[in-house]
Amino acid sequence: MKKPHSSTLVLFITMLVFNFNALGQGDSPDPLPSWNSGRTKSAIIHYVSEVTNADSEYFIPIIDRVATFDNDGNLWSEKPAYFQLFFAIDRVKAMAHDHPEWKKEQPFKAVLEDDMEELIKQGEHGLLKLIMASHAGVTVEEFESIVKEWLATARHPRFNKPYNALVYQPMLELLNFLRDNDFKTYIVSGGGIEFMRPCVEGVYGIPRDQVVGSSGVMEFDYNNGKPVIRKLPEIDFINDKGGKPVGIYRFIGRKPVFASGNSDGDLQMMQYTASNKYKSFMLYVHHTDSEREWAYDRESHIGRLDKGLDEAQKHGWTVIDMKKDWKVIYPFELDK
Amino acid sequence: MKKPHSSTLVLFITMLVFNFNALGQGDSPDPLPSWNSGRTKSAIIHYVSEVTNADSEYFIPIIDRVATFDNDGNLWSEKPAYFQLFFAIDRVKAMAHDHPEWKKEQPFKAVLEDDMEELIKQGEHGLLKLIMASHAGVTVEEFESIVKEWLATARHPRFNKPYNALVYQPMLELLNFLRDNDFKTYIVSGGGIEFMRPCVEGVYGIPRDQVVGSSGVMEFDYNNGKPVIRKLPEIDFINDKGGKPVGIYRFIGRKPVFASGNSDGDLQMMQYTASNKYKSFMLYVHHTDSEREWAYDRESHIGRLDKGLDEAQKHGWTVIDMKKDWKVIYPFELDK
């Protein structure tokens, strides 16, 4: 029984080093300053130190250090509704004067009447119709300008901040910590690729070509010497549930060793990552903080974490208890 | 008229520097040693030196230095037929004993009877059927093993070398030269992503997540705790012609400043690149060397370059004359 012994030893050494640094006497500062000490933080630091140690049996070559992160509810908030839905709603309102028929047609009627209850009743089909109408009919450049303009002006209803101010400070630190250890970090989200890119650029340190997401059909038009790519009102690929491993394989071409998500939509990504031949790390964010953020799991319409929570417990995956594990939630709390 | 003047001056200085280096007195060696001196080589070096010079009006920030390369006929040969077609043929032969019906069914009958003429008569529909049958029904890991095994054993009919030995030495140098100047290099090919990745890995210096190509539909299967991604016999996306700019936008998210191709299938990528707000470089490989490689253009079934050649002339894009511009074609010629 050499394995448990040696990994216990490494954990012990890691904790020693960690305490040493905490005393301010080490030369490397705490890589995760917004995380409270405890099992979650130790497990992350232990894993990273183990798989990046060339002498460890769990060493992972740099090329295989692929880390995938869900976005909504995992890197930024997703309440009271997905931020992309707020964008779609604002966009429908802005487009409404060209569409008088929307006053009588659902789900647009609900949007124009600010009737969120009715909008939710329209279900998945209604939301899809909303996304189509609000995300298509423009070139990709026009769409990007629209998203940027929205980001610059729209404010989150609870915090009255730009939506991309509501990213999780501890996760920003985790992304940096992984990159400092030669992991390549990707977003793998059910959100739309073209919506996410302008939102996250300059926030997460993840370049555009490392954003995997859902996408609509696009067409190229030479347009008499002014080539454009136009977004069409048709879904091409939904990067959620079983779509996540497929999206990962298509865009990245490697199985992740580190996966982080917060809902049942991430479960297949977790299972796929858990099947890696290398030692892998599965990390669920559990929303337990109704004061600083939100508390929800098994019963939530958005970001439901039910089966995933059972599987995490069953397989010993790491679950972040937001309330206990995170000193701060958002970067703006650090300014206080 | 300041522009032509200043760019002529830069060209002059570039050529001076180049000659200086050629005399062996500079400290940087010729970045493109397999390219003969002349207009093509000078144009490439001039462009790169101009757009990477922070004092130039044509300076391009590193983040926007995206260079996209077609694969077949551009980075490696594509004659007497696309290498992926040879793979499909070999695979169909290997699978034939499980498919007795193929003896009577086209295009399989033609493959099993080595009747290339009949196979070509089966047209695009026949080829698609062949690709489907030979590329699906397995997991992505199984498929990758099959491709690697094929690469290790199959030999090109004319050169009797592994197919990925038939890459173009001058293009390898160009890829390195661009990367040395902080361009990010991508493959953007009509070939299948999953076929290309194992073929090009370790050859071009282009990582897996920078390979954009055609793809089939895939499905995730949890498979009782052994998760797999299975390739289904259905085309998802054809990354050719107008598909190339769309694939570029979806995977990369930026318009290239440098595009290199060799056929009319690359024309839309060229047009898209030419519309960049930054100074861009469009490079066509013209197959003019019937002795060392092949000579073909307007009339070729594979890699036809007809409209693209006209457009290149019309817009002043750079066209490589393979016979004149390249000292060697393949890396193995250097060993002689």
Candidate from A123-132, A306-315, A325-334 with smallest mean pLDDT? A123-132
In B, minimum Cα distance to A242 occurs at B220
In B, minimum Cα distance to A230 occurs at B246
**Chain B residues in contact with chain A using a Cβ-Cβ cutoff of 8 Å:** 63, 140, 184, 193, 197, 207-211, 215, 218-222, 226-227, 229, 242-246, 249-254, 268, 271-272, 274-275
> What sign has the CA pseudo-torsion A95, A99, A100, A101?
negative
Distance separating alpha carbons of residues B45 and B174, to the nearest angstrom = 10
Give the ipTM.
Answer: 0.90
Confidence label for B27 from pLDDT (cuts 50, 70 and 90)? low
- Only one residue has tokens 């004359």, namely B321
Distance separating alpha carbons of residues A305 and A299, to the nearest angstrom = 8
Please state the rounded mean pLDDT for residues A10-29.
50
Confidence label for B21 from pLDDT (cuts 50, 70 and 90)? very low
- pLDDT score of B272 more than 60: yes
Q: Which residue has the higher pLDDT, A336 or A80?
A: A80
Strand partners, A188: A212
Distances (CA, A) of B26 to A263, A332, B19, B30, B40: 59, 52, 9, 9, 22
Top-confidence range, B16-20, B24-28, B92-96: B92-96
Burial of B137 (0-12, 13-18, 19+ CB in 10 A): middle
Please state the rounded mean pLDDT for residues A322-329.
98
Candidate from A116-130, A177-191, B49-63, B195-209 with smallest mean pLDDT? A116-130
pLDDT digits (tens, 9 = 90+) for A279-310: 999 999 999 999 999 999 999 989 999 999 99
- pLDDT score of B11 more than 60: no
Confidence label for B36 from pLDDT (cuts 50, 70 and 90)? very high
pLDDT digits (tens, 9 = 90+) for B235-246: 999 999 999 999
**Chain A residues in contact with chain B using a Cβ-Cβ cutoff of 8 Å:** 63, 140, 184, 193, 197, 207-211, 215, 218-222, 226-227, 229, 242-246, 249-254, 268, 271-272, 274-275
Please state the rounded mean pLDDT for residues B157-185.
98
Q: Which of A147, A216, A159, A171 is nearest to A74 (CA)?
A: A171
Tokens standing for B68?
Answer: 């996209």
pLDDT digits (tens, 9 = 90+) for B321-332: 999 999 999 999
Q: How much is the pLDDT for A19?
A: 45
- pLDDT score of B336 more than 80: no
Please state the rounded mean pLDDT for residues B73-85.
96
Q: Which residue has the higher pLDDT, A289 or B122?
A: A289
Q: Judge whether B284 and B318 are in contact, CB under 8 Å.
A: yes
In B, minimum Cα distance to A221 occurs at B242
Q: Which of B221, B251, B268 sits opposite A251 (nearest CB)?
A: B251
Q: Do A227 and B252 touch (CB under 8 A)?
A: no
Backbone angles phi, psi at B321, to 5 degrees: -95, 100
In A, minimum Cα distance to B236 occurs at A236
H runs (alpha helix) in chain A: 2-22, 39-51, 83-95, 108-112, 116-121, 123-135, 140-153, 169-180, 193-200, 243-251, 267-274, 307-315, 322-325
Distance separating alpha carbons of residues B196 and B194, to the nearest angstrom = 6
Q: How much is the pLDDT for A27?
A: 59
- pLDDT score of A10 more than 60: no
Q: Judge whether B188 and B239 are in contact, CB under 8 Å.
A: yes
Tokens standing for A11?
Answer: 């954990």
- A-chain residues near B222 (CB < 8 A): 268, 271
- pLDDT score of A16 more than 50: no
- B-chain residues near A147 (CB < 8 A): none
Burial of B160 (0-12, 13-18, 19+ CB in 10 A): exposed
H runs (alpha helix) in B96-205: 108-112, 116-121, 123-135, 140-153, 169-180, 193-200
Q: Judge whether A216 and A234 are in contact, CB under 8 Å.
A: yes
- B-chain residues near A229 (CB < 8 A): 245-246, 249, 272
Please state the rounded mean pLDDT for residues A228-239.
95
Confidence label for A21 from pLDDT (cuts 50, 70 and 90)? very low
Q: Do B209 and A252 touch (CB under 8 A)?
A: yes
pLDDT digits (tens, 9 = 90+) for A98-128: 999 999 999 999 999 999 889 988 888 898 8
Helix (H, G, I), strand (E, B) or coil at B131: helix
Mean pLDDT of chain B: 92
- pLDDT score of A189 more than 50: yes
DSSP A183: P
Confidence label for B175 from pLDDT (cuts 50, 70 and 90)? very high
Q: Output the pTM of the full model.
A: 0.91
Q: How much is the pLDDT for B195?
A: 97
Q: How much is the pLDDT for A242?
A: 97
Q: Judge whether A297 and A305 are in contact, CB under 8 Å.
A: yes
Helix (H, G, I), strand (E, B) or coil at A26: coil
Please state the rounded mean pLDDT for residues A325-336.
94
Candidate from A8-17, A186-195, A225-234 with smallest mean pLDDT? A8-17
Tokens standing for A110?
Answer: 């609900």
Q: Which of B193, B227, B245 sits opposite A272 (nearest CB)?
A: B227
Please state the rounded mean pLDDT for residues B263-268.
98
In A, minimum Cα distance to B311 occurs at A225
Q: Which of B211, B219, B246 sits opposite A218 (nearest CB)?
A: B246
Q: Which residue has the higher pLDDT, A85 or B6?
A: A85
Tokens standing for A30?
Answer: 């705490």
- A-chain residues near B251 (CB < 8 A): 209, 251
- pLDDT score of B17 more than 70: no
In a mutational test of the A interface, the residue from B142, B219, B246, B282 whose CB has the highest number of chain A CBs within 10 Å is B246
Q: Which of A63, A242, A253 sits opposite B220 (nearest CB)?
A: A242
Q: Which residue has the higher pLDDT, A301 or A23?
A: A301
Q: Judge whether B319 and B39 are in contact, CB under 8 Å.
A: no
Distance separating alpha carbons of residues B205 and B228, to the nearest angstrom = 28
- pLDDT score of A17 more than 50: no
Contacts of A259 (CB under 8 A, 6+ apart): A67, A68, A69, A188, A266, A269, A270, A272, A273, A280, A281, A282, A283
